[in-house]
Amino acid sequence: MDTAGHAWDIAAAAGQNRPLEADLTERIRPAADRLVDQLSDAYRVFAPAREVTAAYDRAETLLAFLRRDPHWRPAAS
């Protein structure tokens, strides 16, 4: 979960394609459901979960739960 999230962060920051494959999303979600809120409560290491829209797919929903904006893009330079 952590590695996939940070890999997504790095790809996003570098302006790279950053897909989170459906099978990986499905494997990560149970761990996220068990750990993220617990870690957030215990260590205050996460921002609040982001809002999810009905148009979000499973990967976007997972990213929002992991406190990421799935549509974030780096500022143009």
pLDDT at 18: 83
Residue 52's nearest CA partner among 34, 72, 69, 36 is 69
* Structural domain includes residue 26: yes
Within a domain: residue 76?
A: no
Helix (H) / strand (E) containing 67? none
Which is nearest to 9 in space by CA: 73, 56, 65, 77?
73
Q: Is residue 74 part of a domain?
A: no
Q: Looking at residues 51-72, what average pLDDT do you find? A: 95
Flag whether 33 is in a domain: yes
* Residue range(s) defining the domain that contains residue 33: 2-13+20-65
Tell me how crowded residue 56 is: count the other CB atoms within 10 A of its CB.
Answer: 16
Q: How do residues 9-53 score in pLDDT, each as one tens digit?
A: 999 999 898 889 999 999 999 999 999 989 888 888 778 889 999
Q: Give me the residue label for tokens 């997504």.
A: 8
Structural domain includes residue 54: yes
How many Å separate Cα 41 from the centre of its chain? Answer: 18
Site of tokens 């870690």: 39
Instruction: Report how many domains make up the chain.
Output: 1
Whether 37 is in a domain gets the answer: yes
